[in-house]
């Protein structure tokens, strides 16, 4: 993943300012162009026009101007802190389609959003429509929770050996080139519950788990070698159990400040993955999360 243009989607709340600050830090570190985008949502604006049309026909334009000024103020603050100039973009329409459209129009290599917002941004990004955004967004998406002080230092990269796993590792390295990378794979024995219910003994089940764990270790080592990960700044971990729980446990245990995982590109499975793993990690993670298409 080469970062030439970073897009920060902001609702102009304090939490969104954290995301913009992280986007600026990333852009400055990669000599990339920073773009700031705020979307005035069509439905609330239309309702406001209908309510206040007779009393204040120019109120909608005043709201637009207020948003423009807020964007330029944010741009000036980021310039002062990071010595870079940011493009300011104000769009109107339905939030998610507009985000996707503007991401393409601006040729963004990375989309950065806050995990919490002052209006509907949180619900849109981390609620029931998260799958729609992730399914249609062609770029990696970084969801920011923490106040950025410096570049990421320890990154947990969750892989499942699907075809996107090399891209997930590459994205982690591109976003955090100086960080230590921990590759994690969580596994379960296929039909493990059914095997236990059918009376398969503990010794046999333990043997199955050990075989799968050894195979996973070999696959992780092969992925690390193919990515040319430096041994001094990378490690690998294979754990038995639920993928979401293992990811969240290791985020805390390993003191990671960034989680990286793929959304998985198989069309038939994509919605299942987003519902069962990526969405749950996005909701429950303590730190920032990068989702790679």
Whole-number pLDDT of residue 261: 94
CA 254 – CA 220 distance, rounded (Å): 18
Whole-number pLDDT of residue 49: 57
Q: What structural domains does the chain harbor?
A: 5-144 (3.40.50.620), 154-266+276-285 (3.40.50.620)
- With a CB cutoff of 8 Å and minimum separation 6, the contacts of 124 are 95, 96, 130, 133
Please state, in angstroms and as integers, the Cα–Cα distance from residue 186 to each residue in 115, 124, 249, 289, following that order.
Answer: 25, 29, 11, 18
Whole-number pLDDT of residue 128: 43
Report pTM. Answer: 0.87
Whole-number pLDDT of residue 264: 67
Whole-number pLDDT of residue 151: 94
| CB count in 10 Å sphere of residue 264 | 22
The alpha carbon of residue 273 and the mean position of all alpha carbons in its chain are separated, in whole angstroms, by 14
Whole-number pLDDT of residue 271: 46
- The residue whose two tokens read 């995301």 is 19
Whole-number pLDDT of residue 279: 79
- The residue whose two tokens read 């709340």 is 13
Residue ranges of the chain with per-residue pLDDT less than 70: 43-57, 116-133, 191, 193-194, 196-197, 264-275
């Amino acid at each position: 993943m080469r970062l030439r243009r970073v897009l920060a989607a902001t609702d102009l709340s304090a939490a969104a300012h954290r995301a913009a600050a992280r986007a600026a830090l990333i852009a400055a570190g990669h000599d990339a162009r920073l773009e700031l985008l705020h979307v005035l949502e069509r439905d609330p604006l239309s309702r406001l026009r209908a309510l206040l049309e007779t009393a204040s026909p120019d109120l909608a334009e005043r709201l637009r101007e207020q948003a423009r000024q807020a964007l330029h103020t944010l741009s000036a603050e980021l310039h002062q802190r990071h010595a870079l100039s940011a493009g300011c973009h104000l769009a109107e329409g339905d939030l998610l389609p507009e985000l996707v459209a503007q991401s393409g129009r601006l040729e963004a290599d990375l989309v950065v959003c806050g995990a919490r917002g002052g209006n509907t941004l949180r619900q849109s990004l981390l609620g029931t429509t998260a799958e729609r955004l992730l399914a249609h967004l062609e770029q990696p998406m970084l969801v920011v929770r923490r106040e950025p002080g410096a570049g990421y230092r320890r990154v947990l990269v969750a892989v499942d050996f699907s075809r996107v796993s090399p891209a997930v590792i590459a994205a982690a390295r591109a976003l955090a080139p100086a960080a230590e990378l921990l590759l994690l794979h969580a596994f379960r024995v296929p039909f493990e519950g059914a095997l236990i219910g059918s009376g398969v003994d503990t010794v046999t089940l333990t043997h199955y788990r050990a075989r799968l764990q050894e195979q996973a270790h070999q696959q992780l080592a092969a992925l690390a070698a193919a990515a040319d990960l430096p041994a001094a700044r990378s490690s690998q971990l294979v754990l038995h159990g639920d993928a979401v729980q293992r990811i969240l446990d290791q985020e805390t245990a390993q003191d990671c400040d960034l989680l990286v995982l793929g959304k998985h590109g198989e069309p038939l499975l994509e919605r299942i993955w987003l519902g069962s793993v990526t969405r749950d990690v996005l909701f429950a993670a303590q730190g920032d999360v990068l989702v790679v298409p």
